[in-house]
Amino acid sequence: MYDLTAFQRDLLYVVAGLDEPHGLAIKEELEDYYEKEVHHGRLYPNLDTVVEKGLVDKGQLDRRTNVYSLTQRGQRELEARREWEDQYVAELVD
């Protein structure tokens, strides 16, 4: 996970959190979070990167719509990231 950009990590969180993560739903979720437009030229190459790294699977919902899902490796990477973050954030919560 250390070699991912922050945007790519955010993609993993969004893919993990949506019921049926397809490109437009992922894009809308990120736009809500970032409070600005996420261009296709940024979204899809980064989705391809996390797919190539084996963190996300890409399938087809229909002829025009790709659907994404977190792989087991992607899930493990997110869990490891959360544990790492908790080392530092837990002190703020206590």
The model's pLDDT over 12-24, given as tens digits with 9 standing for 90+, comes to 999 999 998 999 9
Which CATH number characterizes residue 43's domain?
Answer: 1.10.10.10
61 within domain boundaries: yes
Nearest Cα neighbor of 73 from 12, 8, 17, 3 is 12
* 33 or 94: which leads in pLDDT: 33
Total domain count, the chain: 1
14 within domain boundaries: yes
1 within domain boundaries: no
* pLDDT score of 62: 86
- Determine the structural domain holding residue 89 and report its residue range: 6-93
Rounded CA gap, 44 and 55, in Å? 15
Q: Which of 57-61, 73-77, 85-89 has the lowest mean pLDDT?
A: 85-89
What is the mean pLDDT of the segment spanning 26-44?
97
- pLDDT beyond 80 at 3: yes
88 within domain boundaries: yes
Q: Name the pTM for this structure.
A: 0.89
